[in-house]
Amino acid sequence: MKLLLVENVVKKFGGLRALDGVSLEIDRGEFVAVVGPNGSGKTTLLNVINGVYKPDEGRVLFEGRDVTKLPAYKRAALGIARAFQVPRPFPDLTVLENVVVGAIFNGGYDKRRAFEAAEEALRYVKLYEKRNQLAGKLTFNELRLLELARALASNPKLLLMDEVMAGLSPTEIDEMVRLVKRLAEERGIAAISLVEHRMRAVAQLAHRVVVMHQGRVIAEGPPEKALNDPRVIEVYLGKSWR
């Protein structure tokens, strides 16, 4: 059984078909990069998977269960976590408390276990030293790590990441990608990461790449194969993507 199954999803905004019959399969422990230019439907796809939007057609199955109509906070409880592109911490809570909130409500832990999970997650992303600082005082890169720790501590099976690499330096991107891959390999957490900028650097490290354009999947497969697909090159032609 696949972890996540997206079947022929259509999402319309007025006359615009933001998703025009998208299908996708994700296995446990798989790190998939979804790439595509701005407006290709990547973010809409993520929003359909975690329940912010309900699709107009098609189904979303998680662990074999039809979750198409489930609200976002209930899907979160099933193990779909999301790390946002622009981190939204609770500024007056400490770093640790921020992560604990995710562990209690999305992870379903009791308070004691939540603190343990939160500390472990903070160690994992190397933010443990700053656990007693107020989240409002972190740097941008640290906020990204906090966002990741929050998602991690909620004990997810599937981690959805918006363009979390944007705005990071090449070394930071490298660290972040390694971190996510380690998660996938050590804990069997599947991850879907949206990539628009520095596409090649990120996508090459993924297990699989899905290329989207105008609401459709136009190529899919191992990084080298998908990224060198003639249709993909056509879409990106003229863009400095190397």
Residue appearing with tokens 């899907």? 75
Contacting positions for another protein (CB under 8 A): 72-73, 76-77, 82, 84, 88-93, 97, 100-102, 104-106, 110-111, 114, 150, 154
Pick between residue 144 and residue 208 the one whose CB is nearest to another protein: 144
Residue by residue, DSSP assigns 124-183 as HTT-GGGTTSBGGG--HHHHHHHHHHHHHHT--SEEEE-STTTT--HHHHHHHHHHHHHH
Pick between residue 147 and residue 220 the one whose CB is nearest to another protein: 147
Closest separation in Å from C-beta 49 to another protein = 13
Closest separation in Å from C-beta 41 to another protein = 21
Q: Name the helix (H) or strand (E) containing 12.
A: strand 4-13
Q: What angle do helix axes 170-187 and 140-153 make, rounded to 10 degrees?
A: 10
User: What would the two tokens of residue 131 be?
Assistant: 């656990």
Closest separation in Å from C-beta 91 to another protein = 6
Closest separation in Å from C-beta 57 to another protein = 25
Pick between residue 77 and residue 218 the one whose CB is nearest to another protein: 77
Give the side-chain half-sphere CA count within 13 A for 126.
7
In terms of Cα–Cα distance, which of 31, 7, 26 is closest to 223? 31
Pick between residue 12 and residue 113 the one whose CB is nearest to another protein: 113
Evaluate whether 50 touches 227 at the Cβ level (below 8 Å): no
Closest separation in Å from C-beta 102 to another protein = 5
Pick between residue 54 and residue 88 the one whose CB is nearest to another protein: 88
